[in-house]
Amino acid sequence: MSDQLVALSKVNKHFGPLHVLKDIDLGVARGQVVVVLGPSGSGKSTLCRVINRLEPIDSGTITLDGRAVPAEGKALARYRADIGMVFQSFNLFSHKTALGNVALGPMKVRGRAKADAERTARELLDRVGLADKADAIPAQLSGGQQQRVAIARALAMEPKLLLFDEPTSALDPEMISDVLDVMIELAQSGMTMIVVTHEMGFARQAADQVVFMDEGEIVERGTPAEFFDHPTSTRAKDFLSKILAY
């Protein structure tokens, strides 16, 4: 299909004897938002990491824009530059300011001039609500602020796809909505996103498709309404009853 931006087909991944991804098939159309959920250890992070090939796969194919993921070297670095990734633990470069974090990729990977990269970086920091924090280093920022800088850093590469791996799980409750607001704005602007999160509100509001994983398999998929209101598998029902219990 030509409107598929990302397509995973029969993807398998092992860590030693552990079969972490089992025959994963997943297609994400351009502009779509896919929310991935599932219990801890079900392979959600690994799914994100194989998509930008921070981890190699054992079998199957992954394509971005119809092209297979390069195995290594310069081509792989360029491929990764087209995919933004936002981590649970922010992972900002701790020796650089917010501005430095956002401008680094465009300068060093895209070869843009410093002034140009910094101008764009300031616009992006403004977009995530942190225009006044450009010169702060990560240690001076709250978790929510760091995560928004991390989102700006990913956006600065003008990615085709954004991966979020539990972006709000390490945040204090009062900061979660700041980050989710930014993500919802991105989703509405037409960004293609794969988001691992248990934030049901976000899923209902922004997701086109919800994918439920357990033990390395995609057990169920559907629209947020279908999945949350009428889960079909026992595993999904169990999982939902647990996260909804409180």
Partner 1 sequence: MDFVWDQRELILEGFWRTIQLAALAGGLSLVFGTLLAVMRVCPIPPLRWAGATYVTVVRNTPLTLVFIFSTFGLPRLEIRFSFFVFAVVALTVYTSSFVCEAVRSGINSVASGEIEAARAIGLPFRQTLSLVVLPQAFRAIVPLLSSVFIALTKNTSIAVAFSVTEATSILRRLQNQDASATFPLLIVTAAGYLVITLALSFAFSRLERRVAAAR
Residue range at the interface with partner 1 (CB under 8 A); choices 5-13, 35-43, 69-77, 238-246: 69-77
Residue 96: half-sphere exposure toward Cβ, Cα within 13 Å: 14
**Least Cβ distance, residue 216 to ligand ADP (angstroms):** 7
From CA 182, how far away is CA 170, in angstroms rounded?
16
From CA 180, how far away is CA 223, in angstroms rounded?
19
Binding partner selected for residue 139 from Mg ion, partner 1, ligand ADP, none, CB under the kind-specific 5 to 8 Å limit? partner 1
Binding partner selected for residue 207 from partner 1, ligand ADP, Mg ion, none, CB under the kind-specific 5 to 8 Å limit? none
Looking at the Cβ atoms of 43 and 138, the one nearer to ligand ADP is 43
Which of the residues 27 through 86 are near ligand ADP (CB under 6 A)?
38, 40-46
Q: Is 43 exposed, middle or buried (0-12, 13-18, 19+ CB in 10 A)?
A: buried
Name, in order, each residue with C-beta under 8 angstroms of 50's C-beta and a sequence gap of 6 or more. Answer: 11, 13, 21, 56, 57, 62
Which of the residues 110 through 129 are near partner 1 (CB under 8 A)?
none
Looking at the Cβ atoms of 35 and 99, the one nearer to Mg ion is 35
Does 153 interact with partner 1 (rule: CB under 8 A)? yes
* Dihedral over alpha carbons 8, 33, 4, 52 (to 10 degrees): -40
* Single residue of 3, 9, 54, 131 touching partner 1 by CB under 8 A: 54
Looking at the Cβ atoms of 44 and 133, the one nearer to ligand ADP is 44
* Single residue of 41, 56, 61, 95 touching partner 1 by CB under 8 A: 95
Residue keyed to tokens 């939902």: 240
**Structure tokens, 160:** 């085709």
Sheet holding 161-165, edge to edge: 83-86, 161-165, 192-196, 33-37, 209-214, 217-222
Q: Which residues bind partner 1 (CB under 8 A)?
A: 52, 54, 73-74, 77-85, 87, 89-95, 104-105, 108-109, 137, 139, 150, 153-154, 157
Interface with ligand ADP by CB under 6 A: which residues? 15, 18, 20, 38, 40-46
